[in-house]
Amino acid sequence: MVSVEFLSYIGATAITVLLFAILSLTVNLQYGSAGIFNFGTVAFFMIGAYTSAYMTLAGYPFVVGAIAGSAIAAVAGYLISLPALNLRGDFLALATFMFAEVINIFVLNVPALGGAVGIAHVPSAFPWIRDYGTSVAANLILGSALFVGFYLLYRLIMVSPYGRVLKSIRENEVLADALGKNTFRYKSQVFVIGSIIAGIDGAAYAQYIGFAGTELFTYAVTFTVYIMSIIGGSSTGVGALLGSAIYTAVQTGLLILKDSVALPVDSNNLLFILFGLFTVFVIYYRPDGIIREKLRRVKI
Amino acid sequence: MNILELLPQTFFISIVDGSIFALATIGFSLTYSLLKFPNIAQAAFITFGAYTAYTVSTAWNLGFEAGVAVAFVATGLLGAFSYFAIFRPLAKRTPGFIAPTVTSVGYGLALTYIIQQVWGRNQLYFSTIFRSFSVSIFFVNWIQLGTMALAAALVLFLHFLLSSTKFGAAMRATSSNIDLVRASGIRPTRVILFVWFLGSALAGAAGVLVAGQAGVTPAIGSNLLVTVIAVAIFAGIGSFYGVVAAAFVLSFAENFSIPILIALGQPVYYSTAVAYIVVILAMLYFPSGISGSGPSIFGVLRRPRKSAWQQK
């Protein structure tokens, strides 16, 4: 008989995997399918989390908070996409990266958003559940539902003519332009869709951990999500889930290892050293990720 | 206190900060223009330089100058090793932008925590005490003067190297067309290896100079990283003079926004955000940086020499 604590632990890990898989899915949508280097992913995640935390603390239900969060993330995504998408690919990455830093500095200094302390006691999406095990189960269902929903959306986009335009932008933007597609508009739309997904995901994350603070949303999150996306395979939807699962499994495994084995080095340091090297090796041996895009044969 | 009285001091600090930003960014920008990806591990190089200098100057008691010199060489060697062991094999296997960038993130993470394992996570201070003295209405510290002098010397050295030596020409050529360089009988690997040495060494020097003022922590590099990226994109990747100019524009924007923010009654911590917003807005008008990044990547300011057929 497996104990409830053990199941809750597995469940909590699975929720983390799912929530980061959703964020990784936005990377796959923007970078993997359309070739947009958005290094500001964390900004939209953060906007969703903070908006939802602020709204639910003010008494609104979670759904309203999540919708508001995704709406503000969408507006922010649209506004930053206007100047940013005119830039060359790698400049876009650096510009969005700095945008995320600006958002972080801004939130850090607004007293209404908690400043450096952050927003604590964010109400759960399921305020009627008191028991820890049940709340983990409820969050697991929420996370799975969100992931499946967004995964289906991703698949829908990718199998439609719209998705083929995105892929053609990734492969050769000039060609897509020459075929009469307004590539700027397509890229801007994908940017906004990704921001909306990240916003909703942020709302789910804030209510799950019950806290929103600037130290949770540093640029390390963006890099983590990119690592997940690259490891799993950035041009498939399942790759996002696999990348997130591998990342979390390695991290959890190292955490368990450090508790059970006496090590000559500080275990926290060892965790990051090994993880950094793991990333380097995976990218070296599987640069396209574990799950690769299937190429279709087209009859001419 | 009158805000106008702050201005001379702010001006001076802006120059000191700009020197540090320039040193830290030149290396990032040089390696970026050769291999076409941002080396995020540069943050770890900055930290490594600071800690090496700490060990040499304070733990071994050899003086601050020796610390700077050893940090310069040691960080340079670390950078050259990184290129040789990690990024060169990777570039052979996977071209592109994201794969090497994410690799450098992972590599930087590993390096930073190795550094933290070796030196600990507590803030360390150099034993050398730098005296301050007042010049009419503002204060000057010896390390600030040293920072400015070292930065000026290194920038002049690089200017000379890039504009007047054959090796500099090879560096510029490698960044603009690597196939042509190979066809001309230059070995690009040697050039790239040297640029990685030099770029990392400059980052290490910048790390020491920051640490000399504020002490050493493992976060010293990652704190500087965002500014480095801001300066590099503002300048236009790979443009040497652009980097120097952008570093000062950014440091002036950051420091001079402080008196303005005080006058407006806003938190002074926004000053960093102000600098980044200046960069983002500037990109609307200069989408590839203030000096552009056309074919002449290293953008050396000099009259083009007449080629052989023109002289005939």
Residue of B103, B110, B229 lying closest to A98 (CB–CB): B229
pLDDT tens per residue, range B84-125: 998 888 888 877 788 888 889 889 989 999 998 888 888 888
Contact status, residue B3 vs residue B259, Cβ threshold 8 Å: yes
A125: closest CA of chain B, how far (Å) = 33
Burial A95-125 (b: 16+ CB within 10 A, else e): bbbbbbbbbbbbbbbeeebbbeebbeebbbb
Confidence tier at B302 by pLDDT (50, 70, 90): very low
Task: Tell me if A221 sits within 8 A of A57, measured CB to CB.
Answer: no
- Residue partners of A150: CB distance under 8 A and separation at least 6: A22, A25, A197
3-class state of residue B133 by DSSP = strand
The pTM assigned to this predicted structure is 0.85
Domain boundaries, chain A: 4-218
- Rounded Cα distance between B146 and B159, Å, is 20
Compute CA distances B12 → A107, A168, B137, whole Å: 30, 52, 11
pLDDT at position A1 is: 57
Kindly indicate the confidence band of residue B299, based on its pLDDT and cuts at 50, 70 and 90.
very low
How many CB pairs lie under 8 A apart between chains A and B? 139
- Helical segments of chain B, H only: 6-35, 42-54, 64-82, 88-93, 98-119, 142-164, 166-176, 178-183, 188-214, 220-235, 240-264, 270-285, 308-311
Q: Is the ipTM of this complex over 0.85?
A: no
Whether residue B103 and residue A279 make contact (CB cut-off 8 A), yes or no, is: yes
Measured between beta carbons, the chain B residues lying within 8 angstroms of A89 are 97
Q: What whole-number distance in Å separates Cα of residue A234 and Cα of residue A213?
A: 29
pLDDT at residue B294 above 60?
Answer: no
For range B138-150, the mean pLDDT: 84
Contact B99 A283 (CB under 8 A): yes
Residue B293 banded pLDDT, cuts 50, 70, 90: very low
pLDDT band at B287 (very low <50, low <70, confident <90, very high): low
Write down the residue that tokens 């040789």 correspond to: B84
Q: How far is CA B3 from CA B7, B146, B199, B265, B267, in A?
A: 7, 28, 38, 12, 15
Q: In angstroms, rounded to a whole number, what is the distance separating the alpha carbons of residues A178 and A161?
A: 17
B-chain CB neighbours of A88 within 8 Å are: 287-288
CATH architecture of B3-304: Orthogonal Bundle (1.10)
Q: Is B114 on the interface with A (CB under 8 A)?
A: yes
Structure confidence by residue, pLDDT tens digits, A146-169: 999 999 999 999 999 999 999 998
Q: What percent of chain A has pLDDT over 90?
A: 36
pLDDT, one tens digit per residue, over B14-40 is: 899 999 999 999 888 888 888 888 899
Contact A42, B226 (CB under 8 A): no
pLDDT of residue B295: 34
Binary contact (A270, B270; C-beta < 8 A) = no
DSSP letters, A2-40, are --HHHHHHHHHHHHHHHHHHHHHHHHIIIIIIT----TT
* Contact between residue B103 and residue B86 where contact means Cβ atoms under 8 Å apart: yes
- List CB contacts (< 8 A) between A97 and chain B: 226, 229
pLDDT in tens, A231-261: 888 888 899 999 999 888 888 887 787 777 7
